[in-house]
Amino acid sequence: MGGSEFAARFEAACQAQWLQLFVLPPCSPKLNGHVERASRTHAEEFYEVTPGALSIAQLNQQLQAWERIRNPVRPHQAQGYLTPKQFLAQSLTSSKGS
């Protein structure tokens, strides 16, 4: 459930990078709305329109190609119609001025 087969490896990788891990309870979309929204976007704009008979390697290639469009090209309403790349650059610039 929820990728639990990878939990130990993921926790070890977080510890190796000194990252604090917060595990949310199952069925708690109110606690991780950003992740839920990103998952919905991936489902609607990639997985639901991508042919299902692909190998993992082919699927990964197509997903990476879609991400290259989604992040620097596709504007996002929640980010003031900036692309994620533009939003990040703007955030980094404004945090340096603080």
> Could you list the residue range(s) of the whole structural domain that residue 84 is in?
7-96
pLDDT (mean) for 69-77? 84
Report the C-alpha gap between 12 and 83 in whole angstroms: 33
Res. 53: pLDDT tops 90: no
In this structure, are residues 87 and 70 in contact, taking their beta carbons and an 8 Å threshold?
A: no
Number of domains comprising the chain: 1
> What does the pLDDT read at residue 94?
84
1 within some domain: no
* pLDDT of residue 42 exceeding 50: yes
User: Which of 37, 42, 47, 43 lies closest to 78, judged by CA?
Assistant: 37
Report how far residue 26's alpha carbon sits from residue 42's, in angstroms, rounded to the nearest whole number: 20
**Residue 45 covered by a domain:** yes
For residue 4, pLDDT over 80 is answered with no
